[in-house]
Amino acid sequence: MEALHKRLSSHSVLIAEDDPSTLKWLVRVLKIYFKEVYGASNAMEALEIFTSTPCDIVIADIQMPEVDGLSFLQKISVISPHTLRVVMTAFNSNPYLNRAVESGVHFYLKKPIDIDELLVAISSHMPEGLSLNPISNLGEGFYYDATNKMVYKNSDPIKLTKKELLLLELLLKNRNGIVGLEMIEQNIYEESVTADAIRMVVVGLRKKIYTTLIENLKGLGYRLNIS
C-alpha cells in the first residue's frame, strides 16, 4: 500500500454525498491518502467547490436531491474532461448500473464502499497508467504485439479468446497498479458476472502463457507479475 499511497498523495479529491455520516467518513479516510479532500452534501455545493478549486478526482453518489450524481458528473466532464469521475451507487439493478456505465464516468463502485477497492480503482484509472506499448515483453520468451493483437512465444503465435485478449490488454494498461473485479467487469463484459467467470478467463491466460504471469491479490484483484 506504500506505493499506492505515494501514487495518490499528490492528487486532490472532491466528494459529493448527501448522507452526512458517509460523507464525513469518506473525507476523513481519504485525507490519509490524498493531498486535498473536499466534501459537499449536494451537487450544487460540489459544483461551486469545483469551480473555485478544480480537483483531480470527483466522486459522487448516484442519488442526490435536486441534481443527481450522474448529471453532476456530466457537468464536470464538460468543465474538465480530464478529471477522473467516479459514481457510487447502492442500487444493484441493471438499469442503474447501465446508466452509470453509459454516462461517461470512468468507473462505478457499489455501496457500501470498500476503501481499498476505491483506492486501487482510482490508481488504475489515472491517465499515466493507461498507455499500451506497441510491443510488451511478458517474460519467459512471450511478448504481446498490440498492433496485431497477438501474443507470441518467440516467433510462434498464441491464440487467445476475445475475453483473454481484453483482460491481457487491461492488465498491461494498468501494469503499475491492481485491476479490481468491477473494473474487469466494466471493461470486458456487457453484463454483471461472477468472480468465478472472471477467474476462468485468468486461468485460461495462465495456461496459454505461463502460470505466474498474473498475480491474484485476495480481496483486491489482479496484476501482472512481470518486471
**95 in the same domain as 8:** yes
Last residue of a domain, one of 107, 128, 149: 128
d(CA 207, CA 193): 22
**139 in the same domain as 58:** no
Q: What is the pLDDT of residues 138-160, one digit of tens each?
A: 999 999 998 888 999 988 999 99
**For the residues 174-190, what does the mean pLDDT come to?**
76
**77 in the same domain as 33:** yes
Residue 198 has pLDDT above 70, yes or no: yes
CB 201 within 8 A of CB 167: yes
**123 in the same domain as 105:** yes
**For the residues 206-219, what does the mean pLDDT come to?**
91
Q: Could you give the C-alpha distances from 104 to 83, 130, 182, in angstroms and in order?
A: 12, 17, 16
**144 in the same domain as 108:** no
CATH of the domain at 41: 3.40.50.2300
**105 in the same domain as 59:** yes
Last residue of a domain, one of 128, 158, 177: 128
d(CA 182, CA 41): 26
**197 in the same domain as 185:** yes
Last residue of a domain, one of 78, 100, 128: 128
Q: What's the pLDDT band for 82 if we cut at 50, 70, 90?
A: confident
**137 in the same domain as 119:** no
**138 in the same domain as 102:** no
**145 in the same domain as 116:** no
Q: What is the pLDDT of residues 18-48, one digit of tens each?
A: 999 999 999 999 999 998 999 999 999 999 9
Residue 219 burial by Cβ neighbours in a 10 Å radius (0-12, 13-18, 19+): exposed
**74 in the same domain as 23:** yes
As for how many domains the chain has, the answer is 2
**12 in the same domain as 121:** yes
Among the ranges given (73-82, 96-105, 151-160), the one the predictor scored with the smallest mean pLDDT: 96-105
Rounded to two decimals, what is the model's pTM?
Answer: 0.57
Residue-range definition of the domain harbouring residue 158 = 131-224
